[in-house]
Amino acid sequence: MATEAAGIDRPLLVDDFLQRRRYQLQLADAAADEHTLVCLPTGLGKTTVSLLVTAERLHEAGGKALFLAPTKPLVQQHADFYREALQIPDDEIVVFTGDVKPDDRAALWEDARIVIATPQVVENDLVGNRISLRDVTHLTFDECHRATGDYAYVYIAERYHADAADPLVTGMSASPGGDTEEIETVCENLGLVNVEVMTEEDADVDEYTHDTDVQWEQVTLPDEVLDIRDALNEVITDRLEKLKRLGVTNTTNPDLSQKDLNKMRGQLKQMMDNDQSDGYKGMSTHAEVMKLRRATELVETQSVESVRRYFERQREAARSSGASKASQRMVADPKVREAMRKAESFDGLHPKFSKARILLAETLGINEGERAILFTESRDTAEALVEFLSASFDVRKFVGQGDKEGSDGMSQKQQQETLDEFKAGEFEVLVSTSVAEEGLDVPEVDLVCFYEPVPTAIRSIQRKGRTGRQAEGKVVVLMAEDTRDEAFFWISRRREKKMASQLAELKEATDDIEETVGDDGQAGLDAFAGGSEESDDDADATSDEGEGGAVDGAEANDGAAASDDDAGLTDFADEVRESDDGEGDDGESDEAEATGDAGESEEAAADSDDDGVVATAGVEDGVEVVVDQRELDSSIAKDLSTRDGLVTRLETLAVGDYVLSDRVAVERKSAADFVDSMLDSDRSMFEQVGELSRAYARPVMVVEGSNLYGQRDIDPNAIRGALASLAVDFDVSVLRTEGEEDTTELLATIAKREQETRDREVSVHGEKTTKTRAEQQEYVVSSIADIGPVTSRSLLEHFGTVEAVMTAREEDLLEVDGVGKVTAERIREVVGSEYE
């Protein structure tokens, strides 16, 4: 890439739209040649670097580009920038978020040259075999420090390196991690082999940065607020005494660290796994400590109004059906009730509120500033601050999209409109939760005020990057004296200094890191491209030894009869009659789409020559596994989709979680889910299994995980009875697996045996049964005051109709078997009380 004198003039770029900055061109030069991590301080145009690489790749290599960003507002913002900067028709630069239906995404993908998307949507479309990465010639991971653990970036990178014919990856971040090891992890997960770092000390960057004045302001909490905190701390100390007696802690100090609490939880979990009843009691007490700690944190670092709202939510939770004992004990404790009363009666002002108002007055009034951002971790605090500050300033809030109890979220459109109005100067103060931290192009401001210290280096740097871009600005951190604010503050300072020094050290050590990730990365890329042949071979070897002892259904109910000679899952019969139920509806679930992704869609058409890459959209060859879209919460679907010779397809299945052939469908449950579904009065496990066995000749139940008999306080014989009933009464093969990895191997083995060895095809059928009128009547009555199905049947048999039960007098209710005075009173209270 050559550099030009004024603007940047090259193929696919709008002439002179981009300002020529030497450091951006240098970074783009490097990123165009290798899979590269680009580290550049916030606000200095990381997106421009990626755009330059994308333009060159599309011009030289063709294909399409994919740009991933973690949030919907970021996706929209990047799309707007790309459409302005590139000479590509707007309709060829498309946005993929959960708001776009899967069928529409599959069609848009085919015609797009650039797709800008949230990673979860792309992950779902890859698992569902809706799109192919084969022709993607440039993939950008924005805010790539997220590429750890099971975040969607990791899976997408694995698929890209395996599927793409000519891959190139660019990762971008202002703060890639807390230490060299974290940075290497990100590089390895994304397949990056080159690291490019620019700091504010570089001459080419320095002219585009300005000083950021960082200061902290201490405030002193009034005695009334400290009294609320101390009352809560007394309860925490009492609960820690109980945990100390269980041997999981040596301290009763209410200010113990989160690390100590996590360690305590781990010990309690181990006790539960060993079927020790004290483990369950201790875990409940631990939950109470966590709730109380949250309350003390709110009263110390946020506001009394925040803790008031928190207590109200806890009270509501304690009154609800199925409330945890931890919530009930907490709100009933005399000391907690005393703290609640003090919070309700407090009519003063938290000192942070006063200090924030003073800082804004100085910045916007005395110093004639134009804009300021106030960040807080709590939505309750954000809303209270907007209400308080609105008396003196023009203030708006900026919060996430999810609705919370008593608080509406903001839609993507509302978020974008708010940012646009802030940039245009239509209001002067933005009060924001952490949703505005990462990468959003919030305009330069005169003041960034942290309502509380941020103990994470990444988040702190992201926030402070909002000031100091175009002119000198300052950052102020509010800190309540003698509270956890102080601890958080010093942690934040230490980490931030460490991050700054590490970026400098990273720049010095790039050669060493590149050598490390280069060696490991090449091995990883080879593994990506090679698929998982070894694991598949192992699975086949294991399957030869078989699951021969599994109980196999001899004949499915209502059709789908099987041969009497069948030996089990390892030796399915060659012939089996088709189920009478036929194929079910393939309808897409709008409700599911709202929470992540919707059910099945048509597979996107794509040319696919057999060149050794894993199966992608449109490929019909290979073993197919149909996955219920609600199973995306587990790693199983993703793991299956990366298997060589295996194709996954997403649907909203009416019956089962996985369909492996025309006669085999699998219902998967964790050990905890298995026990819970035994007790679910609305939709029991036996109802689910009944539908499964009516629809498929070979229904399979996979029970995943250990400690099946240690779940909740249930007699192990009841669980054994349920297992026996599934095998004997429902003709269901019940298979146990150690975990998700083991389940993945089992599903792949069964699917291969069915489709390759037995030459069977995949066919989805079955539908959920509709409750009979009697069942619906029982359900309505059983929901009254949680009286349950047995008592509801007794009431209906006695009174004859739901209406008669509802209008019955208390003395008439008492005549029914199983209805005592307490139950009768609860029924009358629920039915007869005015709705509030």
Q: How confident is the model at residue 292 (pLDDT cuts 50, 70, 90)?
A: very high
Q: What band does 528 get if pLDDT is binned at 50, 70 and 90?
A: low
Q: Are 132 and 617 in contact (CB under 8 A)?
A: yes
Mean pLDDT of 809-835: 85
* pLDDT score recorded for residue 496: 64
Q: Is beta strand 395-398 parallel, antiparallel or unpaired with respect to 429-432?
A: parallel
- 58 close to 12: Cβ distance less than 8 angstroms: yes
Mean pLDDT computed over 313-325:
76
- Stretch 633-658: mean pLDDT, rounded? 90
Predicted local confidence at residue 623, as pLDDT = 92
Res. 455: pLDDT tops 80: no
DSSP-assigned letters across all residues of 712-774: TT--HHHHHHHHHHHHHTS--EEEEESSHHHHHHHHHHHHHIIIIIS------B--PPPPPHH
- Residue 634 pLDDT > 50: yes
d(CA 650, CA 631): 9
- Mean pLDDT for 399-409 is 68
> What pLDDT does 549 receive?
33
Q: Where are the beta strands (DSSP E) in 623-693?
A: 623-628, 646-651, 658-659, 664-670
Q: Which residue has the tokens 């196999």?
A: 552
More confident of the two residues 4 and 99: 99
Task: Find the mean pLDDT for residues 511-537.
Answer: 53
Grade residue 511 by pLDDT with cuts at 50, 70 and 90: low
Q: Residues near 742 by Cβ (< 8 Å), separated by ≥ 6?
A: 704
* pLDDT value of residue 734: 94
Which segment, 681-690, 739-748, 786-795, 811-820, is predicted with the most confidence on average?
739-748
Q: If pLDDT is split at 50, 70 and 90, which confidence band does 509 have?
A: low
Cα–Cα dist 113/140, whole Å: 14
Q: Is the pLDDT of residue 21 over 50?
A: yes
List, in sequence order, every residue forming a beta bridge with 733; answer none if it has no partner. Answer: 700
- What pLDDT, on the 0 to 100 scale, is given for residue 6? 53
Burial 707-725 (b: 16+ CB within 10 A, else e): ebebbeeeeeeebeebbee
Q: Provide the residue type at 722 as one letter.
A: A
Q: Is 90 exceeded by the pLDDT of residue 395?
A: yes
Instruction: Grade residue 235 by pLDDT with cuts at 50, 70 and 90.
Output: very high
The dihedral sign for the CA sequence 11, 17, 23, 27: negative
C-beta atoms surrounding 833 within 10 Å: 8
Tokens of 624: 């197919």
pLDDT of 467: 53
Q: Are 190 and 147 in contact (CB under 8 A)?
A: yes
613 DSSP assignment: P
**Coil/strand/helix, residue 449:** strand
pLDDT attached to residue 522: 54
Dihedrals phi, psi of 67, to nearest 5 degrees: -120, 120
Task: Tell me which residue of 714, 706, 634, 698 sits closest to 668, measured CA to CA.
Answer: 634
Burial environment of residue 88 by CB neighbours within 10 A (0 to 12, 13 to 18, 19 or more):
buried
Residue 59: predicted pLDDT: 94
Mean pLDDT of 561-590: 32
Residue 125: what pLDDT?
93
- Of 482, 416, 477, nearest in space to 212 by CA: 477
Residue 835 has pLDDT above 60, yes or no: yes
pLDDT digits (tens, 9 = 90+) for 343-359: 888 888 889 999 999 99
Interatomic CA distance for residues 568 and 553, integer angstroms: 8
- Flag whether pLDDT at 611 surpasses 80: no
Q: What is the predicted pLDDT for the residue at 121?
A: 94
Residues 116 and 73 sit within 8 Å (Cβ to Cβ): no
CA angle at residue 254 from 252 to 259, to 5 degrees?
90
pTM: 0.59
Greater model confidence, 466 or 139: 139
